[in-house]
Every structure is written in C-alpha cells, then in structure tokens.
Structure 1
Amino acid sequence: MNENVQTPSACGAERVTGRRRVLAAALGGLAAVAVAAPLVPAEAATTAAAHSATAQAQPSAKAVVEALAAQGLDVRHARDEGPRTIVRGGACVELKSLGCEQMVSTEDASVMVFTTRAAAAAYVGGADDEAARVGRVVLSYGSPTRVVPSRRPAYEKALVAFLRETPTAEDAVRITVQLASEGLLMRHAHDEGPGGIRRGRASEIPGAVDMVATDGPAVIRFRTTRAAATYVGNADDAATRVGTYVLSFGAPSRVATAQQPAYVSALSTVLAG
C-alpha cells in the first residue's frame, strides 16, 4: 500500500489506539518545535517558508473536484465549504430530501422539525448522531455527543411536556426558547433553515484550509499531513487521506465502498501530476 494513502483501517485495529498514537505524535512534534525554534531560528524560518511554498503549489479543493469530474467520477453539485466562505442556507437545507423542515442548532441539543413523524423516525433510525424523537420533532445531541447521557432525559421530558400542553407548537425556534427558559443549556442558537447564514464546514475542522462538498465525496485540503491524518484517525465518516488531502465519503457513505478506490486512485493521479 502507498504509505502516503491513509484509510481509517491504517490507524490500527483499535480506533482508540490510533487516536492515542496520533495525539502522542502531535504532542511530540509540538515539543520538538518548541525546543528547536530558539536554537536554529534560521532553519525554522526556512522550513516555514518551504511549507508555505508547498501549500501554495498544491491544487485547491475546487481544482481537485474539477479533475475528478474530468475523469468521469460523480462529484455533482460542488459547494464551497472553505473556512472563510459564507454559506447561505443551513444544515436543514441539506437535509431537505429527508424531510427536514426547520432546524435550530446549538452547542448543546439541536432542535429539528420534520414534515412527518415517519420522516423524523427515519432520521433518528439512520442518523450517525445521538438523537431522540417526539412526534415530528427531533432533539439531536450531535456526533460526538454534546450532551452527556445523564442530562438527555431532562431535555426530552421538557419537550414532551411542552408539546402536550401546546400541540401546535412544533416550531424549532419556540421549542429552543422553551427549553432554554426551563434552565436547559441551549447555547449559541443558530438558524439552520433556508434563511440561515453560516461559515463553511471547514471552519469546524482543525487544520483544514480548503473544502468542497459534492453529492459524492467531499474534498478537504489540510495545512499539514499530520492534520489530515488526525482527521482520518478520529473521523466518524468514511474517509481516506492522500498526502494533505482527504476524501470524505460521509456517514452513512455517499459512495459505495467498491467505488471508493477509484476516487482515491484518481486523487493520487491528480496530485502526482
């Protein structure tokens, strides 16, 4: 296997062990830089300049997506998700095909309202985040979870009581306000509907400098191979690294497992050229 290509399995049989190795490597690297920088400032400056030049020479995520498309791979509906990109329309817009009607995200529980109870149940049954449903309303606790298990019953009890008293209040904003008024943490509420404005997804990924999402894989470019490796090692989505680039196939995967090697091979070819 090409040592420059990394899949989740390359991190070891146990993901936890892989994460510890990545963390240890990261800490070791930081320690080495901290010691070496005062002793050899000229060398450190040269290394930094080399990294900067390399980063500038790398193709953008958009250029990679265009190259993959030229090779006949499915990367339709490319969307800029760079760290400085302002995106109109929140996560609920992306989940519209699943029946998402309204959504308010917070640093704690997020409130999602679906068009039907069946759509809400289907989301909870297939979601990769921790979630609970009450009628058409879903409380999403995130992945990894942002609300510890012992605190979740309080959110769900409050939601059940509110909807019982006000059956027509299946509104994400009203529910968010109600839960917060009962002393439950709902920090930094943000509209995730069509009118919402957010920063690109890469802004939430440590070390990511560029990202383009598609109906197939997302292409994420990182500042360093270490940052890319850390992402793959900790990712809960199907992801493969090639140098400082990561192909994120999603969770659940948007690309069949048998087709993923074709994308990885194409990316390797693009970067080699």
Structure 2
Amino acid sequence: MSARNLQTGRIARRFNALKAEGRAGLVTFLTACDPDYDTSLDVLKGLPAAGADLIELGMPFTDPMADGPAIQLASQRALAAGGSIERCLSAVRSFREQESETPLILMGYYNPIYAYGPERFCKDAAEAGVDGLIIVDLPPEEAEELLAHARPAGIDFIVLTTPTTVGERLPVVLGNASGFVYYVSIAGITGTASAQMSAIEEAVARLKAATALPVAVGFGIRTPEQAADVARHADGVVVGSALVQALAESLDGEGRATEGLKDNVLGLVRALANGVRTARG
C-alpha cells in the first residue's frame, strides 16, 4: 500500500474548496450500524447529496464516555445489530464505490482499535477509504503507537480541543494534529448544552492564532440557526446528537427503522446545510 499525501488528501482538498467558496463546511456525525447495517449504510450514502461536506462515522463502543444519552443509545443499538470495526470498514468500502471525494472520518475510542491492532487497523482503514481519525480518549502523550501507522497510511489525526485546552497544553495537543482541529465548545458530554456564541468566537480566534489548520466547532449545535451562527466564525460546523436523535425518533417500538427514517435524517441535514451555506451571505 502506498502512502497518501495528507497535504493533498480529501480533507485538505475539501477545506481548500470551502475556503475558495467563502463558506464553512457542514460536518455530520452518525453511528455506524445504527439501527442496523443496511439502514445505516443507506443513510450514509445519502449524506453528500443532502449537503454534508465532511462525514464522521462513529465506531460503536460499549462505554462511549464523552457522549451523551443520544449517542450512547446509538452505540447500544449498533452493537446489538452486530456493529464492529469490521462492519464500519465494510460500510466505508461500500460508500467509496459511489463517492470518491467526500472526506470520511472514523470517530470513536481507542480500546477497539487496540484490540484490532493499530497497524492492521490503519492499513485496513486506508484501503477502505478512510481519511481521518478522531479518537476521543487518546491523549497526545499516548498517541504515537497509533500515529506511527496512521501517518504512513495517509490518515489524518484530528485532535480535540476544549475550553480548558489553553496555555502550555494547547501546543502539546496541536503538535499531533492534521486535517483539522475539532473544538469541543462545551466542557461536558455531547448533546447536553450549547456554548455562548461569544465564547465560540473567541476560542476559534485563539485556535487560528495557534495553528494553520481549519477549525471545526461541535457539541451542542442542533438547529440550522445555531449552525449558521457558528459558520460565520469557524471553518466547519459539526452536528451529531441532533441527527442521531432524528434517527432515534424514526424507529418503531421495537427499535427498527420506519419507512420515513432516511428522509427524516437527510431532511435535517439539508436544513443544516442550508444554514451553513447561507451564513456569510
């Protein structure tokens, strides 16, 4: 397998294109295999046309400690449906059969990757068409055993920063970053609160002074109006819990997909995309 160049990969190309268009990008999150493999894949394949500029695909995990109730339940549904790293990579391969340009990032926790084997995981992820990784619980001091294989495979390592990532800690966190920087706008779990816009604006300015990478903002963004507000300042707007909740509300009493699930989720994506795309006039 030949290494891919991170500077010319899909994530870099997409953010360069967004900058040329003068707008932010919409980054969507859904959990792989939620509520089942086929439904999840069908929705995944519909995301680019609905307006997703970049896609985060969650790897289901038994203990998603940074996530709120909506995404925790999504992981439980996905695991019950047979969700695994292998199934995630299978979905990516199927997605890539029809979509070659939209960046796809796997987001999750390190334990399943460690069990799978970091070298094998990065090789298989790159071959499937994965562009980046967000590993929530892997601090920079312990990231090298994954980075040593991700970098040669041409996979971006996207770091999380928070309102408390300041002072001497910030350059340590940013030292391993590529692709973009994900700013977690609240100190807490996903889907539970929203940050003040003034605080987001200040944080984005602080991060841009410290890195040349694009800055995407997530946690607590649920509506097209909130997405538009963030899009006026950030390079990317990440929406996860709201989409996962829309999916959950489209399940029947047995937790199975109803006929309207795909339209409900992609309809929200279209509304969010319109907010992001029109935010700067």
Q: TM-score, normalised by structure 1?
A: 0.24
Q: Structure 1 or 2: larger strand share?
A: 1
Return the index of the structure with the highest Cα Rg: 1
Q: TM-score, normalised by structure 2?
A: 0.24
